[in-house]
Amino acid sequence: MKEISTDRAPQAIGPYSQAIDAGDKIFTSGVIPVDPATGETVGETAQEQARQVFTNLKALLSDAGSGIDKVIKTVVFIKNMDDFAKINEVYAEFFSKPYPARSCVEVARLPKDVLIEVEAIAEK
């Protein structure tokens, strides 16, 4: 097991790793819509924030020796289920068939009060 750390994705804001290389798979922690260079939240709408999340996730997976095209499972946490369709539009910009397996849940609150957080499992 090996820790993955990159400055091209938001830094961990607690005692956890950005991702873990577990041999043939990469497991990411939750990725939020934060600009890795400034630490500031990007976007005010669910779509803007989702685009930043998937941009960050793509960079993290790339630096881990994987890629967004190798994602097999995602878990999407959203603040408001009314944003589900808007987030799906952005999701489809980053993923293609066969789409990863996915869970999506509405939660009361996310770190930094963002609207979306995504974790992923990818093949290496």
Domain boundaries, the chain: 2-123
- Give 95-118 pLDDT, tens digit per residue: 999 999 999 999 999 999 999 999
Reported as a pLDDT band with limits 50, 70 and 90, residue 77 is very high
Q: Of these residues, 94, 104, 112, 119, which one is catalytic?
A: 104
Is 104 noted as a catalytic residue in this protein? yes
- Residue 2's pLDDT is 96
CATH ID of 2-123, from 3.30.1330.40, 2.40.10.120, 3.30.420.40, 2.120.10.80: 3.30.1330.40
What is the side-by-side strand order in the sheet with 25-28?
2-4, 19-21, 25-28, 116-123, 71-78, 101-106
- Give 26-73 pLDDT, tens digit per residue: 999 999 999 999 999 999 999 999 999 999 999 999 999 999 999 999
pTM: 0.96
**Nearest 5°: phi and psi at 105?**
-130, 145
